[in-house]
Amino acid sequence: MIFGCSSIKKRVTDDFKLVNAPVRVAVLPFDLEALSNEDQEIAAIFRRIFYGHFSYLGYIDIDIDEIDQTLADNMLTSTEDIYLHSYDYLGELLGADALIYCTIRKVSNVTTGIYAETSIEAELKMLDANTGSFIWEADSKEININGILAPKSLITMIQKQIDNSKKRESLIRVAERFYKKVVKTIPDPASLRVKNIHLPEIYTLKANINNETTYKGFILEVYLNGEKGMEASFDIGDWKTNIPMQEQSPGKYRGYYKVQKEDLIKKTLIIGRLENSNGLTSKKIYEKGLVEFSSVF
Amino acid sequence: MESIGKKTRQISLKVPLSFLLLVLFACASPMKKVQVSSKFVSNNRLPVLKLAILPLNGEIEGTEFFREALHAALMDTEMNISEKFVVDGVIKKNGWNTSEKLFAIPPQKLGEALGADALLYGKVTKWNKYYAIIHSTLVAGLELKLVDARTGELLWRGQRVDREFEGLIKIPTGIIRAIADPISGIISTIADPIFFVSKKSNLDALASKVAKDITESLRNPYTIKKADKMDQKIIITSADEYIKKIEENNTSMEINPLEEVLIDGSIPPVELEDIPSLEDDYLSLEGIRPDFMKTAEVAEKVLHLSKPEKQPELQETYDVAPMPGDSSVTSQKQSSNDIKSASLKTEKLADKKTKTSKPAKISSDKKNIYTIQVGAFQSRNYAKTLIEKLKRKGYNSFIAMARIGKKMWYKVQVDHFQDKKKAVLYAKKLRKKEKLLYFITKTDAAPPA
């Protein structure tokens, strides 16, 4: 066991109510005060660790890669640039209701032979992207110590010293604990979201198939009737997926696939899919028949 | 601390246990086994799947720790992890509140309800704390199955049990520690095991470690060895039964799919820029056109029963109709600024040719005349809108009415052709220029004058 201590000072806005909790949240790139290339990499790793735990909460977390791509497309490549922009600009750019900022004040990894310390200090906050008001903030510190200060045997002490000398692994280990604890202080609207879950509705899914084998040239047509204005696609089992469908009139989607010479599948389901702008997906299986393609005509 | 106190009172029982543990676990290394479906991982990459992590089965405290840890670990994969509140919300809404209910549902139906391509089922196999004054052990174990929700195929499975020790029997440092402890204080030999089992974060950390280790092959598919590949395809029983049920309950195709899309109030599919193009051979394979198209054609023929059965054969009298604005054609056959209906031009050419060959006229009631159908509507107004748009662009388009079942359809067609190949060639150009979906169909209607 290593000797560790942590402290978290958290603050949640007084008027926070679960019903008003933001829906889409963007975790912005983390800022490190001392910026070497290695630090930048560490900040990116820390952000992914935080994101991994944050995504467990009842928010719709915008994919980190999507965030970075959007920021890069708008010439925002450094945290300095990003943090200089206003919350409403960033919110609009990323399609987020709230933004998470993190400034890492200190990252240390010291191994002296008789004393080893790994510590992280950071300040995090979630801001409303419309008003700029803070929703949650935390000032946190995590220290892991091994050596003469921790009651350890000599062998264990040496072993921990060696472990601690692997800076990257050691920091990741501490960061895992650190961010997990931090995320637990964020108000979680999951209970409310579980109650009011609403996925895009698919009313009907139809296709021009039954259980007969079809051959080269046959055009499989799929018709989906559901909520309007969404992205629709269909799968032919796991064989061909995300075949796009066009919304031909509000809520009426059509897609098709033309059987090719080499196509060969047996007893496969047709599955329609509807996705809203938040990435929430619903599916419907065509249960009136299975599709079979044969290359023999 | 109260629980620690209780445990301390049971010293007499725990001491023998600690020696048993020494024998059993002293040399234990984490048990890990992973198997992967051959098709799941290709070129060291996983397919991009929407994955729903289902609530785990087993000891409650363990399931919560593990589910969170798995979520965090799998966020680092190429898979798209469903929001936990979505999974829980759908499960609650459907009343699948016990593992028995949840696991009895075919994966396809679960995937449908959750909007997921794959499902992660899990069971906490070990979740124990052992404490015996001078020794303590934490044990955490997990079994996972990743199932394709579209096919019911088992894609990946893994199991792992991990232990962490603190105290005297910690091997190899434990025994040496017993000697070394006088240096750092014998107190820690007793204190460490107490804190070790009582500190919640140690269990949490162990769950994270197990979750990370067991999912290593999902996060880093290049670590999968050949020996980890499954020998055969495994389908979950309930998934197989579901497919059989669909097969047995099959009813013949129940719809005319046109009904689903081209209903009253729909927008004519005039410009569908992104719809992939039909390929040429489809047009020449009339025999295998979708049934609904055949049905429409049959229905239309019934409407025209009063027309003469036998029609004089038409001669191939005209070339491929030029497309409006098609310079390569118009430059040969018309002035470039005078865009008229394609049909009119072709008929003029036809007249010219027939005059010099046989004195046959283009009859108004010939069979084996082909046309290009670009839309079908139950609303006459929508059909008219499309016709007007096409006419503005110089196409010879018209409406053909057909009764299908109890409904009247207004079919928008472009031009007439005696030769199907020429209709195909014209249709190809039409598709390229106007991005219109179409098919070639026979018509008994007369080519307009």
For chain A, the three-class secondary structure string (H helix, E strand, C coil) is CCEEEEEEEEEECCCCCHHHCCCEEEECCCEECCCCHHHHHHHHHHHHHHHHHHCCCCCEECCHHHHHHHHHHCCCCCHHHHHHCCHHHHHHHHCCCEEEEEEEEEEEEEECCCEEEEEEEEEEEEEECCCCCEEEEEEEEEEEEEECCCCCCHHHHHHHHHHHHCHHHHHHHHHHHHHHHHHCCCCCCHHHHHHCCCCCCEEEEEECCCCCEEECCCEEEEEEEECCCCEEEEEECCCEEEEEEEEEECCEEEEEEECCCCCCEEEECEEEEEECCCCCEEEEECCCCCEEEECCC
Partner-chain residue, chosen from B68, B115, B195, that has the shortest CB–CB distance to A199 = B115
Residue B293, pLDDT score: 33
Return the ∠ at Cα A111 (arms to A107 and A113), rounded to 5°: 165
Give the distance from residue A137's alpha carbon to the nearest chain B alpha carbon, in angstroms: 21
**What is the average pLDDT across A44-67?**
93
Angstroms from A247 CA to nearest CA on chain B: 9
Average predicted confidence (pLDDT) for chain A: 86
Q: When comparing pLDDT for B112 and B315, which is higher? A: B112
Nearest CA distance, B246 vs chain A (angstrom): 6
Q: In chain B, what residues touch A158 (CB-CB under 8 Å)? A: none
> Taking CB atoms and an 8 Å cutoff, what residues of chain B touch A218?
288, 290
pLDDT at A280: 92
Phi then psi for residue B361, to 5 deg, are -105, 160
Which residues of chain A lie closer than 8 angstroms to B148, CB-CB? 238
pLDDT for the residue B211: 92
**For A207, nearest residue in chain B (alpha carbons):** B257
Residues from chain A contacting residue B81 (CB–CB below 8 Å): 55
Q: What is the pLDDT of residue B274?
A: 32
pLDDT band for A127, please (50, 70, 90 cuts): very high
- Tell me what pLDDT residue B106 has: 94
SS3 B301: helix
Choice between B404 and B121, residue whose per-residue pLDDT is larger: B121
A254 to chain B: which residues are within 8 Å by CB?
260-261
pLDDT digits (tens, 9 = 90+) for A8-34: 888 888 878 888 899 999 999 999 876
Which pLDDT band holds residue A160 (cuts at 50, 70, 90)? low
Mean pLDDT of B192-221: 78
Contacts of A47 in chain B (CB under 8 A): none
- Please state which of the ranges A284-293, B28-37, B338-347, B364-373 shows the lowest mean pLDDT: B338-347
Instruction: For residue A37, name the pLDDT band (cuts at 50, 70, 90).
Output: low
Mean of pLDDT values over A225-232? 94
CA distance A274 to chain B (A): 9
Mean pLDDT score, A82-91: 91
Mean pLDDT, range B17-32, rounded to an integer: 47
Interface test with B, best of A191, A249, A282, A290 (most B CBs within 10 A): A249
Q: Which residue of A has its CA nearest to B53?
A: A56
pLDDT band at B230 (very low <50, low <70, confident <90, very high): confident
Which of the residues A46, A143, A248, A266 would you substitute to probe the B interface, choosing the one with the greatest number of B C-beta atoms within 10 Å?
A: A248
Subunit contact A155:B176, Cβ cutoff 8 A: yes
Judge whether residue B448 has pLDDT over 50.
no
Among the partner residues B201, B257, B279, nearest to A221 by beta-carbon distance: B257
Task: Search chain A and give the residue with CA nearest B167.
Answer: A1
pLDDT level of residue A164 (50, 70, 90 thresholds): low
pLDDT of residue A34: 62
State the DSSP string of B367-413.
SSEEEEEEEEES-HHHHHHHHHHHHHTT--EEEEEEEETTEEEEEEE
A-B CB pairs within 8 A amount to 207
pLDDT at B50: 94
A contacts of B166 (beta carbons < 8 Å): 1
Contact (CB<8Å) B251/A288: yes
More confident residue, B308 or A83: A83
pLDDT band at A154 (very low <50, low <70, confident <90, very high): low
Q: Is the pLDDT of residue A155 over 60?
A: no
Please answer whether residues B81 and B67 qualify as being in contact, where contact means their C-beta atoms are separated by less than 8 angstroms: no
Arithmetic mean of pLDDT, B268-272: 31
Helices and strands, counts by H and E, chain B: 18, 10
Residue B100 near residue A85, CB atoms below 8 Å? no
pLDDT tens, B86-144? 999 999 999 998 888 898 999 999 999 999 999 999 999 988 877 766 677 888 999 99
Q: Do A238 and B117 touch (CB under 8 A)?
A: yes
| Residues from chain A contacting residue B55 (CB–CB below 8 Å) | none
User: Residue B14: which H helix or E strand, with range?
Assistant: helix B11-25
CB-count exposure of residue B287 (10 Å: 0-12, 13-18, 19+): exposed
Chain B residues within an 8 Å CB radius of A269: 108, 150-151, 243, 246
Mean pLDDT of A235-249: 93
Q: Which of B46, B64, B74, B75 to mutate to test the interface with A (most CBs of A within 10 A)?
A: B75
Confidence check: pLDDT of A135 > 50: yes
**From residue B254, how far is each of A252, B97, B257, B259, B298 by CA, in Å?**
18, 35, 9, 11, 17
Mean pLDDT across the stretch B403-419? 75
Residues of B in contact with A56 (CB under 8 A): 68, 71-72, 84
CB-closest option in A180, A238, A279 to B148:
A238
Task: Give the residue from chain B lying closest to A237, CA to CA.
Answer: B150
Strand (E) or helix (H) holding B128:
strand B118-131
pLDDT bucket at B361, cuts 50 / 70 / 90: very low
User: Which of A31-40, A111-120, A233-242, B121-130 is modeled with the greatest confidence?
Assistant: A233-242
- On the question of pLDDT at B307 being above 50, the answer is no
Span of A89-103, A142-156, B90-104 with lowest mean pLDDT? A142-156
Q: What is the mean pLDDT of residues B57-66?
A: 85
**What is the per-residue pLDDT for B316?**
30
Specify the range with the lowest mean pLDDT, choosing from A1-10, B107-116, B205-214: A1-10
CB within 8 Å: A153 and B75? no
What would the pLDDT profile of A97-114 be if each residue is shown by its tens digit?
999 999 998 888 776 666
| Interface contact flag, B150 A152, Cβ < 8 Å | no
Q: Give chain A positions within 8 Å (CB) of B188.
A: 151-153
- The residue-averaged pLDDT of A174-189 equals 91
| Cis amide prior to B172 (ω within 30 degrees) | yes
Contact yes or no for B88 and A194 at CB 8 A: yes
Model pLDDT, residue A109 = 77
Average pLDDT over residues B260-274: 30
What is the structure's pLDDT at A156? 58
**What percent of chain A is modeled with pLDDT above 90?**
49
At residue B195, the pLDDT reads: 56
Shortest distance between the Cα of A292 and any Cα of chain B, in A, equals 12
* pLDDT over 80 at A185, yes or no: yes
**For range A272-280, the mean pLDDT:** 92
pLDDT exceeds 90 at position B154: yes
pTM of the model: 0.66
- Looking at residue B32, its pLDDT comes to 66
Neighbours of B428 (CB within 10 A): 18
- State the average pLDDT for chain B: 66
Per-residue pLDDT at A58: 94
pLDDT higher than threshold 90 for residue A177: no
- Contact across the interface for B291 and A249, Cβ inside 8 Å: no
Asked whether residue A133 carries a pLDDT value surpassing 70, the answer given is yes
Amino acid at B234: I
B31 or A110, greater pLDDT: A110
Q: How far is the C-alpha of B372 from the C-alpha of B395, rounded, in Å? A: 11
Q: CB distance B275–A285 less than 8 Å?
A: no
* Contact flag A55-B278 (C-beta cutoff 8 Å): no
